[in-house]
Protein backbone atom coordinates (compact mmCIF):
# COMPACT_ATOMS: atom_id res chain seq x y z
CA UNK A 1 0.00 0.00 0.00
CA UNK A 2 1.34 3.41 -1.01
CA UNK A 3 0.53 6.54 1.01
CA UNK A 4 1.55 9.90 -0.45
CA UNK A 5 2.15 12.69 2.07
CA UNK A 6 2.16 16.30 0.91
CA UNK A 7 3.74 19.06 3.00
CA UNK A 8 6.47 16.66 4.15
CA UNK A 9 8.55 19.41 5.79
CA UNK A 10 5.73 20.75 7.93
CA UNK A 11 4.94 19.67 11.49
CA UNK A 12 2.50 16.94 10.53
CA UNK A 13 4.61 15.77 7.60
CA UNK A 14 7.63 15.36 9.86
CA UNK A 15 5.49 13.62 12.51
CA UNK A 16 4.26 11.15 9.89
CA UNK A 17 7.85 10.49 8.84
CA UNK A 18 8.77 10.01 12.52
CA UNK A 19 6.20 7.20 13.00
CA UNK A 20 6.34 5.74 9.48
CA UNK A 21 8.89 3.09 10.46
CA UNK A 22 6.28 1.50 12.74
CA UNK A 23 4.18 0.58 9.70
CA UNK A 24 6.23 -1.66 7.38
CA UNK A 25 3.06 -2.63 5.51
CA UNK A 26 2.82 0.94 4.17
CA UNK A 27 5.13 2.51 1.61
CA UNK A 28 5.20 6.21 2.45
CA UNK A 29 6.12 8.77 -0.21
CA UNK A 30 6.99 12.13 1.36
CA UNK A 31 6.77 15.19 -0.88
CA UNK A 32 7.62 18.73 0.14
CA UNK A 33 6.62 21.75 -1.95
CA UNK A 34 9.70 21.32 -4.15
CA UNK A 35 8.69 17.74 -4.96
CA UNK A 36 4.99 18.47 -5.31
CA UNK A 37 3.41 21.90 -5.71
CA UNK A 38 -0.23 21.17 -4.96
CA UNK A 39 -1.26 24.46 -6.60
CA UNK A 40 -0.01 23.05 -9.90
CA UNK A 41 -2.41 20.44 -11.33
CA UNK A 42 0.21 19.04 -13.72
CA UNK A 43 2.57 18.55 -10.79
CA UNK A 44 -0.11 16.57 -8.96
CA UNK A 45 -0.76 14.42 -12.02
CA UNK A 46 2.94 13.71 -12.56
CA UNK A 47 3.55 12.64 -8.95
CA UNK A 48 0.45 10.42 -8.86
CA UNK A 49 1.46 8.86 -12.19
CA UNK A 50 4.91 8.11 -10.78
CA UNK A 51 3.97 6.68 -7.36
CA UNK A 52 0.38 5.49 -7.89
CA UNK A 53 -0.71 6.12 -4.28
CA UNK A 54 -3.72 4.38 -2.77
CA UNK A 55 -4.06 7.17 -0.21
CA UNK A 56 -2.99 10.81 -0.07
CA UNK A 57 -2.58 12.67 3.22
CA UNK A 58 -2.70 16.38 2.48
CA UNK A 59 -0.54 17.94 5.18
CA UNK A 60 0.33 20.91 2.95
CA UNK A 61 -1.39 24.16 3.94
CA UNK A 62 -1.02 27.89 4.30
CA UNK A 63 -1.17 28.18 8.10
CA UNK A 64 0.12 31.72 8.79
CA UNK A 65 -3.13 32.87 10.40
CA UNK A 66 -2.29 36.58 10.72
CA UNK A 67 -0.33 36.84 7.48
CA UNK A 68 -3.30 35.40 5.59
CA UNK A 69 -5.17 38.64 6.26
CA UNK A 70 -2.71 40.48 4.00
CA UNK A 71 -2.05 37.54 1.65
CA UNK A 72 -5.56 36.21 0.91
CA UNK A 73 -4.69 35.20 -2.66
CA UNK A 74 -1.75 33.05 -1.54
CA UNK A 75 -3.80 31.41 1.24
CA UNK A 76 -6.60 30.70 -1.25
CA UNK A 77 -4.22 29.23 -3.79
CA UNK A 78 -2.75 26.71 -1.34
CA UNK A 79 -5.77 25.97 0.86
CA UNK A 80 -8.49 25.92 -1.80
CA UNK A 81 -6.97 25.46 -5.25
CA UNK A 82 -4.37 23.03 -3.88
CA UNK A 83 -7.03 20.99 -2.08
CA UNK A 84 -9.20 20.88 -5.20
CA UNK A 85 -6.26 19.81 -7.37
CA UNK A 86 -5.51 16.92 -5.03
CA UNK A 87 -9.17 15.93 -4.89
CA UNK A 88 -9.45 15.84 -8.69
CA UNK A 89 -6.19 13.91 -9.00
CA UNK A 90 -7.30 11.42 -6.33
CA UNK A 91 -10.57 10.94 -8.19
CA UNK A 92 -8.78 10.26 -11.47
CA UNK A 93 -6.37 7.78 -9.85
CA UNK A 94 -8.97 6.14 -7.58
CA UNK A 95 -7.10 7.21 -4.44
CA UNK A 96 -8.59 8.19 -1.08
CA UNK A 97 -7.82 11.69 0.19
CA UNK A 98 -7.22 12.48 3.86
CA UNK A 99 -7.27 16.25 4.22
CA UNK A 100 -6.30 18.09 7.40
CA UNK A 101 -8.45 21.08 8.33
CA UNK A 102 -8.80 23.30 11.37
CA UNK A 103 -10.86 24.53 14.32
CA UNK A 104 -10.65 27.98 12.68
CA UNK A 105 -13.64 27.05 10.52
CA UNK A 106 -15.68 27.90 13.65
CA UNK A 107 -16.22 31.38 15.13
CA UNK A 108 -15.71 30.28 18.75
CA UNK A 109 -19.10 31.49 19.98
CA UNK A 110 -20.06 28.12 21.53
CA UNK A 111 -19.29 27.11 25.10
CA UNK A 112 -19.53 23.35 24.53
CA UNK A 113 -17.29 21.26 22.24
CA UNK A 114 -17.87 21.60 18.51
CA UNK A 115 -19.21 18.55 16.69
CA UNK A 116 -18.80 17.74 13.01
CA UNK A 117 -22.43 18.81 12.48
CA UNK A 118 -22.00 22.32 13.89
CA UNK A 119 -22.33 25.12 11.37
CA UNK A 120 -18.93 26.59 10.36
CA UNK A 121 -18.58 30.36 10.51
CA UNK A 122 -14.93 31.42 10.07
CA UNK A 123 -13.95 34.92 11.15
CA UNK A 124 -10.75 35.34 9.13
CA UNK A 125 -9.09 34.58 5.82
CA UNK A 126 -7.26 31.49 7.06
CA UNK A 127 -10.40 29.84 8.44
CA UNK A 128 -12.42 30.80 5.37
CA UNK A 129 -9.88 29.34 2.94
CA UNK A 130 -9.68 26.12 4.96
CA UNK A 131 -13.48 25.85 4.89
CA UNK A 132 -13.54 26.61 1.16
CA UNK A 133 -10.92 23.88 0.71
CA UNK A 134 -13.16 21.40 2.54
CA UNK A 135 -16.07 22.32 0.29
CA UNK A 136 -13.97 22.06 -2.85
CA UNK A 137 -13.03 18.50 -1.87
CA UNK A 138 -16.65 17.59 -1.11
CA UNK A 139 -17.77 18.87 -4.52
CA UNK A 140 -15.28 16.57 -6.27
CA UNK A 141 -15.05 13.45 -4.09
CA UNK A 142 -17.30 11.09 -2.22
CA UNK A 143 -14.31 9.07 -0.91
CA UNK A 144 -12.59 11.50 1.44
CA UNK A 145 -11.72 12.01 5.09
CA UNK A 146 -11.54 15.60 6.34
CA UNK A 147 -9.95 15.81 9.79
CA UNK A 148 -10.33 19.07 11.70
CA UNK A 149 -7.70 19.63 14.36
CA UNK A 150 -6.47 22.38 16.69
CA UNK A 151 -3.42 23.97 18.34
CA UNK A 152 -0.90 21.60 16.74
CA UNK A 153 2.56 21.43 18.32
CA UNK A 154 5.48 18.99 18.23
CA UNK A 155 9.22 18.65 18.39
CA UNK A 156 9.22 19.60 14.69
CA UNK A 157 8.92 22.95 12.94
CA UNK A 158 7.67 26.18 14.49
CA UNK A 159 4.89 26.08 17.06
CA UNK A 160 3.68 27.51 20.35
CA UNK A 161 5.60 25.06 22.55
CA UNK A 162 8.92 25.81 20.90
CA UNK A 163 8.22 29.55 20.90
CA UNK A 164 7.52 29.48 24.65
CA UNK A 165 10.74 27.58 25.36
CA UNK A 166 12.73 30.02 23.23
CA UNK A 167 11.18 33.11 24.84
CA UNK A 168 11.76 31.68 28.32
CA UNK A 169 15.47 31.53 27.54
CA UNK A 170 15.45 35.20 26.53
CA UNK A 171 13.13 36.85 29.07
CA UNK A 172 12.23 36.86 32.75
CA UNK A 173 8.56 37.73 32.20
CA UNK A 174 6.02 36.53 29.63
CA UNK A 175 2.40 37.53 29.03
CA UNK A 176 0.10 34.94 27.48
CA UNK A 177 -3.58 35.14 26.54
CA UNK A 178 -5.87 33.38 29.02
CA UNK A 179 -9.35 33.85 27.49
CA UNK A 180 -9.02 31.69 24.38
CA UNK A 181 -9.93 28.08 25.18
CA UNK A 182 -9.02 25.06 23.05
CA UNK A 183 -7.04 21.84 23.05
CA UNK A 184 -3.35 21.38 22.18
CA UNK A 185 -2.75 18.55 19.69
CA UNK A 186 0.53 16.67 19.55
CA UNK A 187 1.32 16.23 15.84
CA UNK A 188 2.54 12.66 16.43
CA UNK A 189 -0.84 11.71 17.95
CA UNK A 190 -2.54 13.23 14.91
CA UNK A 191 -0.21 11.31 12.59
CA UNK A 192 -1.04 8.03 14.35
CA UNK A 193 -4.77 8.77 14.08
CA UNK A 194 -4.48 9.39 10.32
CA UNK A 195 -2.68 6.09 9.84
CA UNK A 196 -5.32 4.36 11.97
CA UNK A 197 -7.98 5.71 9.60
CA UNK A 198 -6.09 4.35 6.58
CA UNK A 199 -5.53 0.93 8.12
CA UNK A 200 -9.19 0.73 9.14
CA UNK A 201 -10.28 1.80 5.67
CA UNK A 202 -8.17 -0.99 4.16
CA UNK A 203 -8.86 -3.68 6.73
CA UNK A 204 -12.06 -2.87 8.66
CA UNK A 205 -12.27 -6.49 9.78
CA UNK A 206 -9.18 -5.95 11.95
CA UNK A 207 -10.85 -3.28 14.08
CA UNK A 208 -12.93 -4.64 16.92
CA UNK A 209 -16.52 -3.47 16.71
CA UNK A 210 -16.15 -2.15 13.17
CA UNK A 211 -19.21 -2.69 10.99
CA UNK A 212 -18.21 -3.52 7.46
CA UNK A 213 -21.39 -2.21 5.89
CA UNK A 214 -20.91 1.35 7.12
CA UNK A 215 -19.31 3.96 4.86
CA UNK A 216 -16.91 5.85 7.11
CA UNK A 217 -16.01 8.69 4.74
CA UNK A 218 -16.71 12.24 5.88
CA UNK A 219 -15.61 14.91 8.35
CA UNK A 220 -13.99 14.08 11.71
CA UNK A 221 -12.61 16.07 14.63
CA UNK A 222 -9.30 15.15 16.20
CA UNK A 223 -7.32 16.78 18.98
CA UNK A 224 -5.97 15.52 22.26
CA UNK A 225 -8.42 15.27 25.16
CA UNK A 226 -9.10 18.01 27.69
CA UNK A 227 -9.02 21.77 27.30
CA UNK A 228 -7.01 24.79 28.44
CA UNK A 229 -6.18 28.40 27.65
CA UNK A 230 -2.95 29.41 25.94
CA UNK A 231 -1.80 30.68 29.35
CA UNK A 232 -2.44 27.27 30.94
CA UNK A 233 -0.69 25.57 28.03
CA UNK A 234 2.38 27.78 28.55
CA UNK A 235 2.31 27.22 32.32
CA UNK A 236 2.30 23.44 31.81
CA UNK A 237 5.23 23.67 29.35
CA UNK A 238 7.31 25.55 31.92
CA UNK A 239 6.21 23.33 34.79
CA UNK A 240 7.29 20.13 33.00
CA UNK A 241 10.62 21.71 32.05
CA UNK A 242 11.11 23.10 35.58
CA UNK A 243 11.52 26.59 34.13
CA UNK A 244 11.03 29.49 36.53
CA UNK A 245 9.53 32.51 34.80
CA UNK A 246 7.08 35.28 35.67
CA UNK A 247 4.10 34.19 33.55
CA UNK A 248 1.24 36.70 33.33
CA UNK A 249 -2.30 35.96 32.10
CA UNK A 250 -3.70 38.65 29.81
CA UNK A 251 -6.99 39.10 27.91
CA UNK A 252 -7.11 38.86 24.12
CA UNK A 253 -7.84 42.60 24.04
CA UNK A 254 -4.33 43.25 25.39
CA UNK A 255 -2.75 41.31 22.54
CA UNK A 256 -4.44 42.45 19.30
CA UNK A 257 -3.67 40.44 16.15
CA UNK A 258 -4.63 40.97 12.48
CA UNK A 259 -6.78 37.81 12.55
CA UNK A 260 -9.47 37.15 15.12
CA UNK A 261 -9.07 33.89 17.06
CA UNK A 262 -11.96 31.69 18.19
CA UNK A 263 -12.64 32.31 21.89
CA UNK A 264 -13.60 28.66 22.30
CA UNK A 265 -12.64 25.91 19.87
CA UNK A 266 -12.67 22.65 21.80
CA UNK A 267 -13.54 19.79 19.44
CA UNK A 268 -15.86 16.88 20.24
CA UNK A 269 -14.01 13.64 19.34
CA UNK A 270 -16.78 11.09 19.92
CA UNK A 271 -17.29 10.36 16.22
CA UNK A 272 -13.66 9.53 15.44
CA UNK A 273 -13.24 7.56 18.68
CA UNK A 274 -16.29 5.40 18.03
CA UNK A 275 -15.74 4.91 14.29
CA UNK A 276 -12.07 3.96 14.50
CA UNK A 277 -11.95 2.61 18.06
CA UNK A 278 -9.41 5.28 18.98
CA UNK A 279 -8.12 5.97 22.45
CA UNK A 280 -7.00 9.60 22.59
CA UNK A 281 -4.41 10.83 25.07
CA UNK A 282 -4.98 13.82 27.33
CA UNK A 283 -3.09 16.91 26.13
CA UNK A 284 -1.05 17.13 29.35
CA UNK A 285 0.09 13.52 29.06
CA UNK A 286 1.16 13.98 25.44
CA UNK A 287 2.99 17.21 26.27
CA UNK A 288 4.80 15.52 29.15
CA UNK A 289 5.81 12.62 26.92
CA UNK A 290 7.34 14.84 24.25
CA UNK A 291 9.17 17.17 26.67
CA UNK A 292 10.58 14.41 28.86
CA UNK A 293 11.75 12.38 25.85
CA UNK A 294 13.71 15.29 24.35
Q: What is the pLDDT of residues 179-191, one digit of tens each?
A: 999 999 999 999 9
Q: Which CATH class is domain 2-159+184-225+266-280?
A: alpha beta
User: Which tens digits make up the pLDDT trace of 42-88?
Assistant: 999 999 999 999 999 999 999 999 999 999 999 999 999 999 999 99
The Cα–Cα gap between 155 and 91 comes to 34
- pLDDT of the residue at 178: 97
Q: Where in the sequence numbering do the catalytic residues fall?
A: 126
3-class secondary structure, 224: coil
Instruction: Enter the pTM of the model.
Output: 0.95
Per the model's pLDDT, the better-predicted residue between 212 and 135 turns out to be: 135
Count CA atoms within 13 Å of residue 124 on its CB side. Answer: 22
Phi, psi (deg, nearest 5) at residue 108: 85, 15
Is residue 205 over pLDDT 60?
no
Domain ranges (residues) in the chain: 2-159+184-225+266-280
Q: How does residue 262 score in pLDDT terms, banded at 50, 70 and 90?
A: very high
The Cα–Cα gap between 142 and 235 comes to 43
Polymer length of the chain: 294
Residue 126 in contact with residue 77, Cβ under 8 Å?
no
The Cα–Cα gap between 137 and 121 comes to 18
The Cα–Cα gap between 173 and 165 comes to 12
Residue 91 in contact with residue 138, Cβ under 8 Å?
no
Name the nearest CA neighbour of 191 among 6, 55, 12.
12
Amino acid sequence: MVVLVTGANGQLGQALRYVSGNYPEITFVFCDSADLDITNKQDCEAVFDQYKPHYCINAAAYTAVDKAESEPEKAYLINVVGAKNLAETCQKHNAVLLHVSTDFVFDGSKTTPYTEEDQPNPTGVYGQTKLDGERAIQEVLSNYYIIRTSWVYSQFGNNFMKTMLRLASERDTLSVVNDQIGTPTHAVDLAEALIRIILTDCHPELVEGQQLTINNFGIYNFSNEGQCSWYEFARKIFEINKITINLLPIPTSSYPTPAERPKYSVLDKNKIKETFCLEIKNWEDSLKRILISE
